[in-house]
Structure 1
Amino acid sequence: MSQGLGADLLAVVARLNRLATQRARLPLPFAQARLLSTIEDQGEARISDLAALDHCSQPTMTNQVRRLEEAGLVSRTVDPSDGRAVLIRITPKGVETLRQARVQRGAAIDPYLERLTPEERATLATAVGILRRLLDEASAPVTTR
């Protein structure tokens, strides 16, 4: 019995992500790449915000951010709205490392995509565009009238 389109989509995406991660040679551990991607998406964020997004404790997130900072992938700056807090942002080295991770994960999936017919690849490309739009709409600020 089908769980619904949303549940099916999430299950397939999760399996695809696991496949890509298992088969790729990543320049950093997957959990760090995922956090780096979150930081890139946020632009800059407090550690407490990153912990909330990752559903972990603030001390756990502090340790994860420290590892990325030691590798030169993120930097800390003082939060202009609260001098006691810091904002985490991705560095140019972090952007490049994340790009490499994405290329490697994509390369792990490419052999399977090559097996698709041209029509199937076109359908998949259309679906990716639809998913991007869905994500853009979901992350857009909500406006009230």
Structure 2
Amino acid sequence: MSNHDDPGNDVLRAAARLTRWASRYASFDIPVAQARLLSLLDEWGPCRVSELAEIDHSSQPTTTAGVHRLEAQGWARRDPDRSDARATLVSITPAGHEALAEVRRARAAVLAPALGALEESELARLRDAVVVLEDLLARAATPHHSPAPTREEA
């Protein structure tokens, strides 16, 4: 249920529900957890397993196991971290990009009938909303608007 007095919560809940709904009904062969890791690697670029675990709000052992699964499929690889010879960076491979694109296509395909039923004016509003959401994300991602670091980060 939407509480229009809290637009931040409304936006986050609606986006999360839409993504979960699309994932539930979409047909793809990749486990959702692996798709999520691929998406994070696509968004954040090469990073250490510890960083990926922090970004994903999961434990390092869980993330390590997920990365091993991605590597076994050829969707991710580890390369030496040039800034620290003891560490490696995990990155998405071209096959990983294609696997992620397949997931995204499948999710979009289950939404297509509902989008097709919208009037042109509703589609225009939806396109405008997407632009607003992208602008909101860009603003939120700037250092000035990003949340203050937690005690552990300070």
TM tier relative to shorter chain: over 0.9
| Corresponding residue for residue 32 of structure 1 | 34
Task: Return 25-34 or 119-128, whichever deviates more.
Answer: 25-34
Match of 1:86 among 82, 85, 88: 88
For 2:50 and 2:12, locate their aligned partners in 1 and report how far apart those are by CA, in whole Å: 26
Mapping for residues 107-126 of structure 1, pairs under 5 Å: 107-126=109-128
For 2:110 and 2:15, locate their aligned partners in 1 and report how far apart those are by CA, in whole Å: 15
Pairwise CA RMSD: 1.6
Asked whether the equivalents of residues 27 and 100 of structure 1 are also in contact (C-alpha less than 8 Å), the reply is no
Mapping for residues 1-145 of structure 1, pairs under 5 Å: 2=3, 4-140=6-142
TM-score by length of 2: 0.87
The structural deviation recorded for 1:138 is: 2.7
Write the letter of the residue equivalent to 1:76.
R
Percent identity at matched positions? Answer: 44
Spell out structure 1 runs of 4+ moving beyond 2 A: 136-142
Asked whether the equivalents of residues 27 and 97 of structure 1 are also in contact (C-alpha less than 8 Å), the reply is no
For these two proteins, the number of residue pairs brought into alignment is 143
The structural deviation recorded for 1:141 is: 5.1
SS in 2 for 1:102: helix
SS in 2 for 1:56: coil
The structural deviation recorded for 1:36 is: 0.3
For 2:142 and 2:136, locate their aligned partners in 1 and report how far apart those are by CA, in whole Å: 10
For 1:98 and 1:108, locate their aligned partners in 2 and report how far apart those are by CA, in whole Å: 16
TM-score by length of 1: 0.92
The structural deviation recorded for 1:140 is: 4.0
Structure 1: runs of 5+ lacking an equivalent: none
Q: Deviations over 1:77-134 (max 9, x none)?
A: 0101111111000000001111111011001111111111110010001111111122
